[in-house]
Amino acid sequence: MRLSTPSGTQNPALQALSASAGGLMFHHFHGVGHPPGQGTIAADVLDRLLADVAECARLLPAAEWLERALSQRLTPGDWCLTFDDNLRSQYDVALPVLEQRGLTAFWFVSTSVLQGHLCRTTLYQRFVQRCFRDPDAFYDAFFAAIRQSPAREAVGDALRGFDPGAYLPAFPFYTPADRRFRFVRDEVLGPDAYRRIMDDLIRSTGRTLSELSAGLWLEAAHLLRLHERGHVIGLHSHTHPTRIAELSAAAQQREYAANLACLESLLGQAPICVSHPCNSYSDRTLAILRRLGVRVGFRADMTLREHGPLEHPRQDCTNLRRAARSD
């Protein structure tokens, strides 16, 4: 199966790669002990996607793409591979495909998990994938829990004027239900209320946080092996807030300083690249990153016509696959 539209014409998202330079963004994979879920990719699908990309763009090794970015020598059609959230499925499923093709990638790491903490953003995603038949079943349970919580009136009031089509327009693959959930999570509940609701929901299913986190993230040894094989390791905040731009300057500084210190201690050199978690950043965030010595950064979409060195565009792999008939 080629990544083409039903009419046989090439996917427009693929065609557009020849006109710009940036990163292809990946998150979840299935296979080799990692079950399928919303948005996960199998190894053979990744291989076909990379083959199609190579027909219309140049897939560069990460270090070469980084050097070109630093020297301002990127040209239209120069693309790299990027993996967010330091997920073990990326290492187990995607890495062998990259090695067969002689490719290296950027791996953007949230470091709190390396110190024994839980990154709830990715842990909750695994909970949804493993405990619900599909995302809509999870959304039903999530909003049922909200109706029994102190947040029910605030959420109800906020949703009365909510227009799904106007929220997160840069991510066309989100369904109206996806947008409604993200709006409530990020704009209404905030991190503390969201965490309470999700932790209660996990307990109600009989699962535990430790059970769900087993084998979810890369360990230090995996990152060291990637580094030794020429992959580029970068920042992705320490604890992965979904709205880091809304934190105080001091809190943002702590997030990225801890992120940098942890990776520098592990790798023996300070990372100089970043991807912005959940596409959240501000001018203040960029200033903090520059002071920390970060020189190259990635957004999570393609919306900016002009961008600075810390805002290189990325094309989500879902946009490259959404016109395909099936996986």
Alpha carbons 82 and 272: distance in angstroms, whole number: 15
- In whole angstroms, what is the distance from residue 308 CA to residue 310 CA? 5
Residues 287-296 as b/e (b if ≥16 CB within 10 A, e otherwise) read ebbeebebeb
How far apart (Å, rounded) are the C-alpha atoms in residues 135 and 179?
12
pLDDT at 320: 85
Mean pLDDT of 2-30: 76
Instruction: Kindly give, in sequence order, each residue whose CB lies less than 8 Å from that of residue 184, ignoring residues fewer than 6 positions away.
Output: 143, 146, 155, 158, 159
Whose tokens are 């001091």? That residue is 250
Partners of 276 in beta bridges: none
Which two three-digit tokens encode residue 3?
């990544």
Q: Tens digit of pLDDT for each residue in 41-70?
A: 999 999 999 999 999 999 999 999 999 999
Task: Name the percent of the chain in helix, strand, coil, to the closest 5.
Answer: 50, 10, 35
Q: Note the pTM of the prediction, 2 decimals.
A: 0.90
Q: What is the mean pLDDT of residues 12-38?
A: 90
Distances, alpha carbon 118 to alpha carbons 111, 122, 208, 289, in Å = 10, 9, 12, 24
E strand or H helix at 53, and its extent? helix 43-54
Please tell me the distance from the alpha carbon of residue 1 to that of residue 49, in angstroms, as a whole number. Answer: 10
The residue that leads in pLDDT, 171 or 104, is: 104
Query: Of 297, 318, 321, which is closest to residue 23 (Cα–Cα)?
Result: 297
- DSSP letter string, 61-95: -HHHHHHHHHTT---TTEEEEEEES-BHHIIIIIH
Q: CA-to-CA distance for 290 and 304, rounded, in angstroms? A: 20
Say what the pLDDT of residue 321 is: 78
- Structural domains in the chain, CATH included, are 12-117+217-321 (3.20.20.370), 120-213 (no CATH)
Q: Is the dihedral of CA 229, 63, 232, 77 positive or negative?
A: negative
Q: How far apart are CA 279 and CA 246, in angstroms?
A: 12
Q: Classify 85 in phi/psi space as left (phi over 0), alpha (psi -120 to 50) or beta.
A: left
- What pLDDT is recorded for position 324? 41
Q: What is the per-residue pLDDT for 83?
A: 98
Handedness of CA 93, 98, 99, 105 (dihedral sign): negative
* Alpha-carbon 129 to chain mean position: 16
Residue 134 pLDDT greater than 50, yes or no = yes
| 153 pLDDT more than 80 | yes
Confidence (pLDDT) at 4 = 42
pLDDT of residue 1 exceeding 60: no
pLDDT at 156 over 50: yes
